[in-house]
Amino acid sequence: MTQRSGLCLIFCEILITTWFVSHILTTNAFASHKHPERYYQEKWCNSAGGQMEVVVNGIRVDCLDDSRATEHDFANKYREGLIQALEYSMRTGKRAHLVLIQEKPGDQRYIDRAELVRDYYRLPVDIEVMR
């Protein structure tokens, strides 16, 4: 192997390694949050006087109080949150309630989308933002 081809090989290995590391660090699977979802769920549910992780008809409701069945999700997961809140309501007979967790200002776009979908389809779900 010539010196030039050896340098090319080293350069290619560095390039591939750099791409791989940067790709891993920027994927959603490795995205970090200030706190886990459960932290926000506990904080909110305790302040609302509800019960956490209540199993009703085979599903686990994040927080159940006298009038609401509440789902907690990070703002970028608003789609899943809307569906879960509506299912909790259907299964419990209580008002659907979605708490969206906003950790940074850019999350506002997801909150706006959730409210737009709710309003457009007149979905019976209350949306609250937790910061």
Residues 66 and 94 in one domain: yes
Residues 63 and 120 in one domain: yes
Mean pLDDT of the chain: 87
Around Cβ 79, how many Cβ atoms within 10 Å?
A: 13
Residues 37 and 100 in one domain: yes
Residues 67 and 123 in one domain: yes
Closest of 121, 108, 116 to residue 75, by C-alpha: 108
Does the pLDDT value for residue 7 go beyond 70?
A: no
Confidence of residue 23 (pLDDT cuts 50, 70, 90): very low
Using only C-alpha atoms, what is the Rg of the chain? 22
Q: State the pLDDT at residue 32.
A: 83
Q: State the pLDDT at residue 12.
A: 47
Residues 84 and 59 in one domain: yes
Residues 84 and 26 in one domain: no
Q: Which domain holds residue 7?
A: 1-31
Closest of 92, 43, 29 to residue 64, by C-alpha: 92
